[in-house]
A and B are shown apart, each in its own frame.
Chain A
Amino acid sequence: MEKSYLSLFALITLLSLAVAAYEFYSQPQGWSSQPLASNQTPTGPTFNHQLHTQKLGLDCRYCHTGIQQNSQRAGLPSVESCMGCHAYVGKELESLETLRQSYLKQQPIQWKISNQLPDHAHFHHGKHVEAGLKCQTCHGDVQNTTSELGRDKPLQMQWCLECHQDPHASVDYSLDLKKQDQTQTTKMRDCQTCHH
């Protein structure tokens, strides 16, 4: 009796471990998995960053207003603020149908998340921009993407730490952190700076 239970138990555990491992590594959205390959971009409504930033010359902060307010969140623009232009511009474009429908039906657009952090990691957009980091450092070549925006960097803790442990070596800063208060760089290594 004892034995049969035990072997059953072991078998199920092994099996489930195997399945779990498979699921874990096959999930592109998983927070500790590899960067998204080009064929793994989430499907959903898309936005042409290249057109808006390169051709029209809009600054990232024009739409992602949270950054300017020293806020944790960069934020997405409201549908109404998109319509601020698109009520006049591109009225005939089919690609803007989702936006127009959203505005008319008063149903928010559901964007898919491609850069997602786990719940136990808190990233502060405002602070990173304040330190002189460029959006591209983490988000990649956003200004040259025309449709789906994938994940450019792995967003794994190891990758975060490359910079947090030695900010000078890895990233081009517009501010010299050495001149800044020493505690700032000390604080960067504290677990609870991000995990709280």
Chain B
Amino acid sequence: MSSLEDKKTMKSHQLQRTDLAGENPHGHLHRREFMKAAGLLAGFGQLLGCTKEPRELIPYLNEVEKGTQFQNQYYATFVEISGQAQPLIVKSLQGRPLKVEGNPRFESSAGSTSLFAQAELYNLYNPKRLQFPLNKGKKAVLSEVNEQLIQYAKGWQKNGGNQTVITLPPLSSPGTLKRLAKLKEKFPKLDFVTLNPLARSVQVEKKLIRPRYNLKNAETLITLDDDMFLATSDAHYNARQFMQRRKGAITKHDDSRMNRLFCYEPQLSQTGVKADKRVALSPSQIKKVILKIGELAGLKETPIETDETIQVEANKIYQILKNSAPNALLTLGEHYPDQWKKRVWAINQKLGAEKATFSLEEVNYFPDQISLKTFKKNLLNEKYKTLIDLGGNPLYFFSQKNFQEAFQNIEKTLAFALFPQETTKISQVVCPLKHDFETWKLGRESLGQVTFSQPLTQAFFPSFSHDEVLATLLEGKPQKDRDLFQKDIQTLYQINDSKKVLQTGKQKDERPKTFTDQINVSWETEAFENKLELVSYPDPSVLFGEYSHNPWAQEIPKPVSKITWMNAFFLSPELAKGHNLKTGDFIEVQTDDGSAQGPVSLMKGMAQNTITTTWGYGRQIQDPDMDGKGVNAREALGDKSLSGAKITKLQKTPYQFATTQKEFELEEQTVLERLSYEELKERTPSPQKSEPYTSEEFQSSPQWGMTIDLTTCIGCNACTLSCQQENNIPFVGEKEVAKGREMHWIRVDTYRVPVTDNETLHFQPVTCVHCEEAPCETVCPVNATVHSEEGTNQMVYNRCIGTRYCSNNCPYKVRSFNFYAYKNNFEKPLEFILNPDVTVRARGVMEKCTYCVQRLNAYQRNEPDATPDGKLQTACQSACPTQAIQFGDLTEASNPVQVEHQSERYYDLLAELGTKPRTGYLADVKKTEKMLHKSKGERH
């Protein structure tokens, strides 16, 4: 327990990660007492630890298809997240889904996955799932739920579904939408409402319209409070297009392709970090900027009076847009009210962006539903006697007091859900939903393609799918999802043999209808109040609360704040000073719609007079650790995302956030190299580059190496979670994270680098760099970490005795230590999630990135089932949405990783230490202020 001293003496060139804090993990004990207690525990531990359970070999009962018994199978499937299908290829062994990868047949995925798609695997095995139906709080069977549904259907035959509302989560399946429409047709008095937390789409006349960006053509991208790269909707598709263009320009020195990104936003976002220029503006300032641009573009007739900053910024934006039109694009966040989105679309149309970067598309949806406004009115007027929730969770969506009371007045509530949540708590009948990996289903991904999927496993628990519930209501008798699926693909797509679409997940390329009309929108607005503003965003780790039950997602550090297991109110240090607030202090934020409480976290780069927070916390999900924790922004905002607000400080003990990065400011350049686009041209290969694999030890082939491109990394954490899934990495909980004991093998650091009167921001994923001259190896007393002849730094778990010398001597701080027996966290049925090719580490063992050695071994052994497509990829590499990670054999001249090792952007992390790392970095290239404002003609 000597780490506190270590931290103090840590050399300035060492990266900060773990201040392996906490002299003792029990707080109130003193060191000596702790040592005694630990000794006792260790003694007892030994008593228990050596007993070996006799094991059984259990063969299959029935013969399975040849090859499936012992080999990995790869199935095309998808998960539906916020009403968008994310196409996947899932590795499955002996009926257990084990690893989630993207489906490269779909452009929206291109083989990559999001953090949330990865987290879905945990949700499948999550022990917190609802495991059986409940009837008035008692364990029930599925047939009782069926009976209930049939009874409802019978009742509706008479009254047409009067006084009944069905609440839905956003759904994309064409089959489900068709079933909903039929249900409405059959029972016309039924009310349907989709509880969509966020939508890019807007209703225009009778159509639902959404914008589609083509960032391949975007020379200039200006985002207004739009976190485009945050993993919702088609974010990763957009990020990939933007970054591919940029990377192309950088590698080929092709000026005409170099794009630029301006961000105007209240809170520092993932996109803001990647921006070439970022300006902090509050939501109302952003609205004013839109109005002003509208005026400059000749759309708004009456001039708007604004202060000078707005005038200047709006003028700048308009000039930039005009100069690079039509290859320019202006975007606005999804959380703004519809008329603001339409105004921005109109500006894009006016500037001719439709020729290159912008188009509008029709979205398939179920039109016969009531609006949220009508639903709220009806609810408060006690119109409803029956509520059927298909997973929309209205009680969390409408967390404000008056609605909560109104829900209590509904006589009968029937809730379907994957997890216990607010709505299941008050429902008389509760039924588990099938997980996406347990159903036959159709879905539509973010680019509008239909995708097909079969179950990867039999349902673990008695449960229903959405389609089964709707079909039972429709037909008055129980239905099976398989039959429904067959029926759907026959009637909707004329497919009789489902084999092919199930193999690929896809039928044919099709694009949604484009909407070519000019957008007509009124530019009249109400006057702006000069008030503090509250904005809420999707949470980077739990989204809107879908992943509240998921410890993998919860423990992912949020890209900018690095907070885990929690959210907060973010505000600028200046605003905090005015209210006498420090990080951790609790405040109450009041709006016209309600009020919410929670701790604050100070963040630099926030707009003045703005408080931001995220959705998905302050929940009631029958989990003592999570219930009521964090800010429930729904209490203050309801179904809106923006509002005027007032704050009051509360007298409460300050909250200790569990963050994974304490210092964000970076002065040393050897950690992170950044270049401007001009500097790049003058640059010859970095002086900070060692010549790897030249020594005699490393003459054999292959020699493994990796590169991480800081220019294209968007800090999304998909790599971290993909690695966690592949390598059986445990989660440790909030308290342990607070002590710096998180176990992730990849961390994504966020750095702020001060430059003249501004700062630039950067993401940097750091994992074991596999040094050829590895400092960890020389200090291990038992040779538990050694070098292979293929150049990887190996960690031999069975030799490790847990001295932690290696971690102390590692300048990159990439080793993590099993302080507890985390393998006990894998309770049933979670043990099925473990990758059988990777050792589950015991307590007291050090671990770190292995370059996915189990994949390398399987590939080198030519195992036919080693990879889905024959390509060798590490888990982080395959997940990365922008292909920022390359991995391969450095002795192969044409290998992308070898090419990147020769790039002029290449540098060794902490090169002055002479560790000769095998994982190299490519410098982050941004445009400088000077270059940004040059128009087309005078470009470099």
Contact = CB atoms under 8 A, between A and B. Distances in A.
Nearest to B796: A191
A190 B47 contact: no
A192 B853 contact: yes
Most buried by B among A69, A183, A192: A192
Interface string A168-188: 000000000000001100110
Interface residues of B, number: 52
Most buried by B among A20, A44, A79: A20
Contacts of B57: 76, 110-113
Contact of B69 (A20, A30, A75, A112): A75
B56 A113 contact: yes
B46 A127 contact: no
A126 B866 CA distance: 13
Interface string B853-868: 1100100111110000
Interface string B783-817: 00010111010101110000000000000000000
Interface string B53-73: 011111111111011011100
A109 B56 CA distance: 9
Contacts of A19: 46-47
Contacts of B798: 118, 120-121, 195
Contact of B857 (A13, A24, A73, A196): A196
A132 interface: no
Nearest to A29: B52
A108 B50 CA distance: 29
B753 interface: no
Contacts of B46: 16-17, 19-20
Contacts of B701: 183
Contacts of A29: 52, 54-55
A66 interface: yes
A20 B64 contact: no
Interface in A100-125: 102-103, 106-113, 116, 118-122, 124
Given A69-B67, A71-B71, A79-B59, A182 B700 contact: yes
B591 to A, nearest CB: 54
A192 B59 contact: no
Nearest to A78: B60
B59 A191 contact: no
B43 interface: yes
A165 interface: no
Given A108-B58, A108-B59, A113-B56, A120 B70 contact: no
Contacts of A111: 56-59
B671 to A, nearest CB: 29
Contacts of B839: 119-120, 122, 195-196
B776 to A, nearest CB: 14
B56 A190 contact: no
Contact of B40 (A9, A23, A119, A192): A9
Contacts of B840: 119
A80 interface: yes
Contacts of A24: 50
Contacts of A38: none
Interface in A62-88: 65-66, 69-73, 75-81
A20 B47 contact: yes
A69 to B, nearest CB: 6
A127 B798 CA distance: 23
A12 B43 contact: yes
A42 interface: yes
A183 B700 contact: yes
A107 B61 CA distance: 7
B252 interface: no
A108 B66 CA distance: 19
A27 interface: yes
Contacts of B797: 120, 195
B838 interface: yes
B36 interface: yes
Interface string A17-52: 101100110010111000000000010100000000
A186 B791 CA distance: 12
Contacts of A119: 839-840
Nearest to B35: A9
B58 A13 contact: no
A42 B71 contact: no
Interface residues of A, number: 61
A102 B61 contact: yes
B51 interface: yes
B850 interface: yes
Interface in A120-153: 120-122, 124, 126-127
B27 interface: no
Contacts of B59: 75-79, 108-109, 111
A192 B861 contact: no
A79 B47 contact: no
Given A9-B36, A190-B790, A196-B850, A71 B58 contact: no
Contacts of B790: 187, 190
A193 interface: yes
B637 to A, nearest CB: 48
Contacts of B62: 78-80
B61 A108 contact: yes
Nearest to B44: A16
Contacts of B862: 70
A77 B70 CA distance: 11
B60 A109 contact: no
B39 interface: yes
Contacts of A191: 786, 788, 794, 796
Contacts of B863: 70-71, 126
Contacts of B857: 192-193, 196
B837 A79 contact: no
Most buried by A among B700, B797, B861: B861
Most buried by A among B46, B47, B70, B853: B70
A15 B789 CA distance: 44
Contacts of A20: 46-47, 49-50
A78 B59 CA distance: 5
A112 B50 contact: no
Interface in B343-364: none
A29 B796 CA distance: 23
A5 interface: yes
A9 to B, nearest CB: 5
B141 interface: no
Nearest to B864: A70
Contacts of A71: 70-71, 863
B788 A190 contact: yes
Contacts of A126: 861, 863
Contacts of A75: 59, 69-70
Contacts of A65: 66, 69-70
Contacts of B204: none
Contacts of A9: 36, 39-40, 43
Contacts of B796: 191-192, 195
B42 interface: yes
B777 to A, nearest CB: 12
B42 A13 contact: yes
Nearest to A124: B861
A128 B318 CA distance: 69
B838 A196 contact: yes
B140 to A, nearest CB: 27
A193 B43 CA distance: 34
Contacts of A116: 55
Given A70-B864, A192-B796, 7 more contacts: A13-B43, A15-B43, A19-B47, A78-B62, A78-B64, A112-B54, A196-B857
Interface of B: 36, 39-40, 42-44, 46-47, 49-52, 54-64, 66-67, 69-71, 700-701, 786, 788-790, 792, 794, 796-798, 837-840, 850, 853-854, 857, 860-864
16 contacts: A9-B43, A23-B51, A27-B50, A29-B52, A65-B66, A66-B70, A79-B59, A108-B58, A110-B58, A112-B55, A113-B55, A113-B56, A183-B701, A192-B850, A193-B857, A196-B854
